[in-house]
Amino acid sequence: MSLIDSIALPRNFRLPRADGLVQWIVPLGIIVVWQIACVTGFVPTRVLPAPSDVALAGWKLLLSGELVRNIWVSFWRASIGFLIGGSIGFAFGLANGLSQLSAKLTDTTLQMVRNVPHLALIPLVILWFGIDESAKLFLVALGVFFPIYLNTLHGIRTVDPQLIEMGRIYGMTDSELFRRVIFPGALPSIFVGIRFALGIMWLTLIVAETIAASSGLGYMAMQAREFMLIDVVVLSILIYALLGKLADSASRVLERATLSWHPAFQKR
């Protein structure tokens, strides 16, 4: 996604020097306006607690250790599920991109499964796994699988055939051709898949934790709702936003490190 964004920029486009700060102006502005609206009574605190109240709730939960524990549980579920689903998706993408036989054998099946919304499986998954860890991991892995599978496959299929012909002329073996031509050529597309998958990862996890869990951020929010602790509910939502941003930044850093050859990622 960022790849396409960056390509669309004109060549002489320069990011402002204080890039790191500029991007936080809008979120901070929203918080300030929100605080003012709450303090003046424009928004009743029963509907939306003031940011200061949310911060206070966060501080209390932090002291009790509950917040860290729940964030850690959610983070752990998200990463393990992502690793499992991502690796399987990557493996299938490679296999189906490189082998006609494998593609014929599995692609149709995978496309059918893809069109079932994976969250529709929640009742079935609860019946299978209960509200155990495996249920959440299964759902996250399933959700993450498809964007990575599709984009890996697409990346490999669209590697410039002229480069592949060049590699063959210059006597590259199959493994060399993969390592030096096909994989680096597919990498930008694989990263698009990873960033889509990160979004789906959080979405799936939150829904799963809200419906059936005994720990984690989603569980914390649902508990708070039962006790009418609206500040904790809002706090959970804000933490989701921050975690999502964190995952996205991590993938950007990886992208920059591995795609430094790409004109879109070169320092201008």
Partner 1 sequence: MQTALRTALPETELASLANFAPQTRVVREERPAQASGLPLSIRGLRKSFGDNEVLRGIDLHIPAGQFVAIVGKSGCGKSTLLRLIAGLEKIDAGSISFADEVKAEDIRVMFQEPRLLPWARVLANVEVGLGRDRASKDADARAEKALNEVGLADKRDQWPSVLSGGQKQRVALARALVSRPRVLAFDEPLGALDALTRISMQRLLERVWRDQGFTAILVTHDVAEAVALADRVLVIEDGRIAHDVTVNAARPRERGSAELASLEGSILRHLLSAEDRT
Residue 165 binds partner 1, judged by CB under 8 A: yes
Query: Exposed e or buried b for every residue in 1-25, given b needs 16+ CB within 10 A?
Result: ebbeeeeeeeeeeeeeeeeeeeeee
Residue 169 binds partner 1, judged by CB under 8 A: yes
Residue 41: C-alpha distances to residues 32, 49, 157, 231, 243 (Å): 14, 11, 58, 16, 30
Q: Among the candidate windows 31-39, 49-57, 167-175, 239-247, which touches partner 1 by CB under 8 A?
A: 167-175
| CB nearer to partner 1: pick between 40 and 162 | 162
**Smallest distance from the beta carbon of 91 to partner 1, in angstroms?**
22
The rounded distance, in Å, linking the Cα atoms of 112 and 103 is 14
Let me know the angle formed at the C-alpha of 234 by 228 and 238, rounded to the nearest 5 degrees: 160
Q: Among 163, 207, 229, 238, which residue sits at the site for partner 1 (rule: CB under 8 A)?
A: 163
Residue 184 binds partner 1, judged by CB under 8 A: yes
**Smallest distance from the beta carbon of 167 to partner 1, in angstroms?**
8
**Smallest distance from the beta carbon of 258 to partner 1, in angstroms?**
9
Residue 144 binds partner 1, judged by CB under 8 A: no
**Smallest distance from the beta carbon of 181 to partner 1, in angstroms?**
7
Residue that is written with structure tokens 């964007």 in the block = 147
Residue 162 binds partner 1, judged by CB under 8 A: yes
Q: Which two tokens stand for residue 207?
A: 């829904």
Q: Which two tokens stand for residue 188?
A: 């930008």
Length of the chain in residues, anyone?
268
> Residue 47 corresponds to which amino acid?
V
The rounded distance, in Å, linking the Cα atoms of 150 and 228 is 42
Q: Among 89, 167, 193, 216, which residue sits at the site for partner 1 (rule: CB under 8 A)?
A: 167
Q: Among 119, 185, 225, 252, which residue sits at the site for partner 1 (rule: CB under 8 A)?
A: 185
Q: Among 26, 44, 261, 267, which residue sits at the site for partner 1 (rule: CB under 8 A)?
A: 261
| CB nearer to partner 1: pick between 8 and 120 | 8
Residue 256 binds partner 1, judged by CB under 8 A: no
Phi and psi dihedrals of 266, rounded to 5? -85, 145
Binding residues for partner 1, rule: CB under 8 A, are 162-163, 165-167, 169-172, 180-181, 184-185, 187, 259-263, 266
